[in-house]
Amino acid sequence: MPDDMMAGTSLEARLDRLAMLAVKVGLGLRPGQEIVLTAPIEAMPLVRRIVEHAYRAGATLVTPLISDDQVALARYRHAHPDEAFDVAPGWLFSAMAEAFKGGAARLAVVGDDPTLLSKEDPAKVARANKARSIAYRPALELITGFAINWNLVPCATPGWARQVFPNLPDCQAVDRLWDAIFAACRVDAADPVAEWARHNATLHARCDFLNGKDFRELHFRGPGTDLRVGLADGHLWCGGAEAAKNGIVCNPNIPTEEVFTTPHALRVEGVVRSTKPLSYQGTLIEDIAVRFEEGRIVEANASKGAEVLTKVLGTDEGAARLGEVALVPHSSPISKSGLLFSNTLFDENAASHIALGQAYTTCLRDSAGVPMDELAKRGANASLIHIDWMIGSGSVEVDGVTKSGAVEPLMRAGEFVAGPV
């Protein structure tokens, strides 16, 4: 079916295709697997379809854990004393970790209202976040370390849609957000599964090309940007479908457009300006302009949200250094939408980006089982935070610099000009 016909297809039919993609392409579900599924309550129409596809594909048991914004807010407004915010459901996270160790897959439906907690007491929010991070770590490590197959899939909720389309009534905003989600997730292609196979092949070919080059650094140039990002020793480019350690090939993010790797925490020099606002815990940080010296941000400005940026950079020693650099062509469907989604799953796939904070150890060769302080010697950064912000646009160029100092054009006017394009 041609794309324009699909766009006229009912919401139900497109939801069903997204659910099918989450199970088949996102999780790559293996018959006999359990699924631990989390979702906001507004996502139930999508959740029910996912569950149906999962059982048809051979899932033994799908266990949904449903959250609700009003329930979350009630805690910040009425729970007391303050020590109550040090409590996290460790018992639940232990059970999730137990399920993963027993072979369960992890599916998260995301549709958070980015401003949900912006009016609540920041001290309580920080306290609750910290307690949750500590309690969730054993389960999260199994996910980020790819012990299991996992997937994040989006769902348009009224709270999120209001942020993306502030001038529309809720129901129209939700419809428009769904259209944008379906386009970004390639749901409207004639054969979405085949389309994802083609897309994954492109991302893998791009990674192979960049891994073959083994560049010493990337050089970004554009308005307000002249940045040299040294790459970690033995860095590895990743992107698209990946084989988890349980042998199952999954697409952890739907949508995804990026290829990404680990920069060298001590070898970043120059100036860079953000090309899109950064939505961070309910605050928009706009026109970020920073200067790096020996890998560290030594000067930081923003036209809006500068105090929040300063606070973020002061989180810990690694928060003012880079943990990720990613390349995304300006022609990506998300970039073409021209929308600010205020959701990392989308915004980081709209443009080339860098991330402050923690590095992905999977983006380093031979990193399995190697302690973090050893990986740090190769340039991997460590921090409690990982915050992506966009530095790519149609007027940004990227060169790769080889170990012998040769300069090779990689991107011009925001598009790849080398490797598979």
The footprint of Zn ion (CB under 5 A) covers: 258, 260, 324, 326, 348, 355, 388
Residue with smaller CB distance to Zn ion, 171 or 384: 384
Write down the least CB distance from residue 344 to Zn ion, Å: 7
Write down the least CB distance from residue 268 to Zn ion, Å: 16
Residue with smaller CB distance to Zn ion, 188 or 324: 324
Write down the least CB distance from residue 390 to Zn ion, Å: 10
Write down the least CB distance from residue 184 to Zn ion, Å: 15
Write down the least CB distance from residue 394 to Zn ion, Å: 19
End-to-end CA distance of the chain: 26
Residue with smaller CB distance to Zn ion, 37 or 238: 238
Residue with smaller CB distance to Zn ion, 50 or 322: 322
Residue with smaller CB distance to Zn ion, 225 or 344: 344
Write down the least CB distance from residue 355 to Zn ion, Å: 4
Residue with smaller CB distance to Zn ion, 16 or 347: 347
Residue with smaller CB distance to Zn ion, 388 or 399: 388
SS3 393: coil
Alpha-carbon distance of 214 to 368, in angstroms, equals 20
User: Cα Rg for the chain, rounded, in angstroms?
Assistant: 21
Alpha-carbon distance of 347 to 334, in angstroms, equals 8
Write down the least CB distance from residue 15 to Zn ion, Å: 27
SS3 299: strand
Write down the least CB distance from residue 139 to Zn ion, Å: 20
| CB half-sphere exposure, 365, CA atoms < 13 A | 9
Residue with smaller CB distance to Zn ion, 18 or 238: 238
Alpha-carbon distance of 421 to 415, in angstroms, equals 8
Alpha-carbon distance of 218 to 413, in angstroms, equals 16
SS3 387: strand
Write down the least CB distance from residue 144 to Zn ion, Å: 11
Residue with smaller CB distance to Zn ion, 246 or 337: 337
Residue with smaller CB distance to Zn ion, 170 or 316: 316
CA angle at residue 343 from 82 to 188, to 5 degrees? 145
Q: Among 114, 116, 112, which Cα is nearest to 279's?
A: 114
Alpha-carbon distance of 214 to 217, in angstroms, equals 9
Alpha-carbon distance of 322 to 382, in angstroms, equals 9
Residues whose CB falls within 8 Å of the CB of residue 91, separated by 6 or more in sequence, listed in order:
none
Q: Which residues make beta-bridge pairs with 235?
A: 364
Write down the least CB distance from residue 85 to Zn ion, Å: 27
Q: Which three-class secondary structure string do you get for 232-262? A: CCCECCECCCEECCCCCEECCECCCCCEEEC
In 114-224 the beta strands, taken as DSSP E runs, fall at 150-154, 217-222
Neighbouring C-beta atoms of residue 373, cutoff 10 Å? 9
Q: What's the one-letter identity of residue 333?
A: P
Alpha-carbon distance of 43 to 51, in angstroms, equals 12
Q: Among 137, 163, 165, 178, which Cα is nearest to 18's?
A: 178
Residue with smaller CB distance to Zn ion, 54 or 364: 364
Beginning with the edge strand found earlier in the chain, give each strand of the sheet holding 353-357 in spatial order: 259-261, 322-327, 353-357, 386-390
By the 8 A CB rule, do 122 and 76 touch? no
Write down the least CB distance from residue 256 to Zn ion, Å: 9
